[in-house]
Amino acid sequence: MDEAMTKPLSIVADSCRRAGLLLACALACVSLRADPPPVVEGGFTLVVIPDSQKYVETRPEFYTLQTGWIAANVARYGIVRVLHVGDITQHDTTTEWAAADRAHRVFTGLVPGIYAQGNHDMALRDEYRSRVSRFSQHITLEDYRRQPGFGGVYDREPTHTQNSFHLFEAGEEKWLVIALEFAPRDDVLDWANEVVARHPERRVILLTHAYLRPDATRYDRTFREPSKPNSSHGLSSKTVGRLEGGFNDGEDMWRKLVSQHANLTLVVCGHVCTSAYRASRGVHGNTVHQVLVDYQNAANGGNGWLRLLQFLPDGRTIRVRDYSPLLNETSAEPSCTFEFQLGSLENMPAERTHLPPSRRLDPAERDVRGFALQAPIPAGKP
């Protein structure tokens, strides 16, 4: 492995400033190492695709390069699923979706893809008043049904795919991935609780677009800093204030869903241009690992960065590595190269019915570990 090299970071700060994300878009230096991450023999990998909105808008060939690398490395890395954190598109247009479709077809049939819906994948035409979008026309029910392990979709919208669940086995364990819409509605969370409760023997991964903030806290509309009493830590009122059916932010999802299940292991999200990690204890004493990754404000719409979640053969260790097939470089930033340990599911209480809203209590959360360091967003290469 080559020695780490440092490159200057130049970020388009204006778009982040509008979203109040100056922390994520501050200038910094980034450590990189040439070549892809080492293969973990005897383990398996989940590949996380960060927000691809800028690629499909202006540089679709870079998105196809990402998915091409995934397709070419399914066997080598033991890739069992691809998880997209949402904001597949920038404006939910037919042109952008066509570019996304071309990229997704590259690995179709080689490895199943699971997709969250981002705010840019919906409601732009009526200024975020409805949840109507082209998402289900391109992430289709038919495509999901052709994938092994597809479990189903939100029961009250049986032809829509923005809320779905998926089953697979890897590393001698059973897994459940549940993908939820941007800022999910209460009834969607009730459905998700029911799905998780029906599978107490499976480790659960929640895939949703907006959950963690750049500082590794969860989005929380009820929290206000004393120095900024008129500004909350919630999602932008522009995107959620008028949504049909209401919405839930990160802290809402934690209280109502994530913290309530002993087998809920991992949350994966995007939405904001940074990398962050948080570990919190649920009401059953289990540790829930929460991971944020988004590179949309890097050069070239993200510089091709992917996140590899490498599950080691010990059945407990997850190794996080960020790699760009465009740059052929692996990040050496602490926020993007770390490990965490999964707890045992043994002796955890079996949950066979979800908690109704009247029974949900605010958990006495005990944070185990959390950090939010600058994402490795290197200067662009032509």
Tens-digit pLDDT profile for residues 132-163: 899 999 999 999 999 999 999 999 999 999 99
Q: How far apart are the first and last CA of the chain?
A: 24
The answer to whether 187 touches 214, Cβ cutoff 8 Å, is no
The CA distances from residue 258 to 11, 290, 361, 363, 381, in Å, are: 33, 10, 13, 11, 39
Residue 86 has pLDDT above 50, yes or no: yes
The answer to whether 280 touches 260, Cβ cutoff 8 Å, is no
The CA distances from residue 12 to 18, 281, 341, 380, in Å, are: 11, 36, 35, 12
Integer-rounded Cα radius of gyration of the chain: 19
The answer to whether 72 touches 36, Cβ cutoff 8 Å, is no
Q: pLDDT band at 128, cuts 50/70/90?
A: low
Per DSSP bridges, beta strands 79-84 and 44-49 are: parallel
Tens-digit pLDDT profile for residues 186-238: 999 999 999 999 999 999 999 999 999 988 999 888 877 766 666 667 677 77
In this prediction, residue 229 carries a pLDDT of 64
The answer to whether 150 touches 143, Cβ cutoff 8 Å, is no
Structural domains of the chain, ranges and CATH numbers in brackets: 5-371 (3.60.21.10)
The span from the CA of 381 to the CA of 369, in Å, is 35
Q: What single letter denotes the amino acid at residue 101?
A: D
The answer to whether 43 touches 316, Cβ cutoff 8 Å, is no
Give the pTM: 0.83
The answer to whether 208 touches 267, Cβ cutoff 8 Å, is yes
Q: Coil, strand, or helix at residue 63? A: helix
The span from the CA of 313 to the CA of 74, in Å, is 17
Residue 21 has pLDDT above 80, yes or no: no
Report the percentage of the chain scoring pLDDT > 70: 77
In this structure, of 30-39, 139-148, 271-280, 336-345, the range with the lowest mean pLDDT score is: 30-39
The span from the CA of 142 to the CA of 156, in Å, is 18
Length reported for the chain: 382
Tens-digit pLDDT profile for residues 235-271: 777 777 777 788 899 999 999 999 999 999 999 999 9
The span from the CA of 71 to the CA of 381, in Å, is 23
In this prediction, residue 7 carries a pLDDT of 24
Angle at 30 between CA 373 and CA 117, to 5 degrees: 55
